């Protein structure tokens, strides 16, 4: 059973999708801990409801110790709003979910609603989400899965974010974890 540690900062909709898929058996994995760099993140409440060990911690060294104490074999950055150092990245296998079709609308400053604002400003007709391995760059790691979502004429950043979360993120993140759990990826 793949032991997964999830890094969060906000609402935890991606965390919830992982938990639900683990509990339904769709993913051969277990969320063994959740760490948030924001102490009031609702994602911590979601972890509490499922009796998952949860921590509010900002110091990277402490986050690494927590993950190691739970013998995590995969780290998932799910709505995690902090860039991880090369030293941290060398310690773990990490994947990230980004709410655009990388290489569009990614990199420094492209997170949360900013991504969807940029997509609407550019006038793209298709956007989506990407799951990728985390390397020393920002959103530059090897791409694992992507899923496209149509942009509607009357979309706001909020309506687009919701559609990308519901139709893309919630689908490809659990799928990517299952691929890793089955040994289909390095």
Catalytic residue IDs = 98
CA 87: distance to chain centroid?
20
d(CA 180, CA 174): 10
Q: Does 128 help bind ligand GRF (rule: CB under 6 A)?
A: no
Pick from 160, 165, 172, 177: which binds ligand GRF (CB under 6 A)?
165
- In eight-state DSSP terms, residue 74 is E
Phi then psi for 132, rounded to 5 degrees?
-145, 155
- Minimal distance, residue 142 CB to ligand GRF, in Å: 18
Pick from 169, 170, 172, 180: which binds ligand GRF (CB under 6 A)?
169
Q: Does 11 help bind ligand GRF (rule: CB under 6 A)?
A: yes
Counts for the chain of helices (H) and strands (E), in that order: 7, 7
Phi then psi for 78, rounded to 5 degrees?
-120, 90
Q: How many chain residues interact with ligand GRF (CB under 6 A)?
A: 16
Contact 164, 116 (CB under 8 A): yes
- Minimal distance, residue 183 CB to ligand GRF, in Å: 26
In the region spanning residues 55 to 114, those forming contacts with ligand GRF, defined by CB under 6 A, are 78-79, 97, 99, 112
Pick from 2, 4, 7, 14: which binds ligand GRF (CB under 6 A)?
14
Select from 12-20, 50-58, 62-70, 177-185 the region that touches ligand GRF (CB under 6 A). Answer: 12-20
Handedness of CA 103, 109, 110, 116 (dihedral sign): negative
- In terms of CB distance, is 15 or 181 closer to ligand GRF? 15
Radius of gyration of the chain (CA): 16
Pick from 10, 128, 141, 174: which binds ligand GRF (CB under 6 A)?
10
């Amino acid at each position: 059973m793949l032991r997964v540690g999830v890094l969060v900062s906000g609402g935890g909709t991606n965390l919830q999708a992982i938990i639900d898929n683990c509990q339904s058996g769709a993913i051969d994995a277990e969320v063994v801990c959740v760490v948030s760099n924001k102490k009031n993140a609702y994602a911590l409440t979601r972890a509490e409801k499922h009796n998952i060990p949860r921590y509010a911690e900002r110091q990277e060294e402490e986050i690494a110790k927590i993950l190691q104490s739970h013998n995590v074999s995969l780290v998932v950055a799910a709505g995690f709003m902090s860039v991880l150092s090369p030293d941290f990245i060398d310690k773990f296998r990490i994947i990230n979910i980004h709410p655009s079709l990388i290489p569009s609308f990614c990199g420094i400053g492209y997170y949360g609603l900013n991504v969807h604002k940029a997509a609407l400003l550019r006038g793209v007709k298709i956007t989506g989400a990407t799951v990728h391995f985390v390397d020393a760059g920002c959103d530059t790691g090897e791409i694992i899965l992507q899923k496209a979502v149509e942009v509607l004429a009357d979309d706001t950043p909020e309506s687009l974010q919701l559609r990308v979360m519901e139709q893309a993120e919630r689908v490809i993140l659990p799928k990517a974890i299952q691929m890793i759990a089955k040994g289909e990826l390095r």
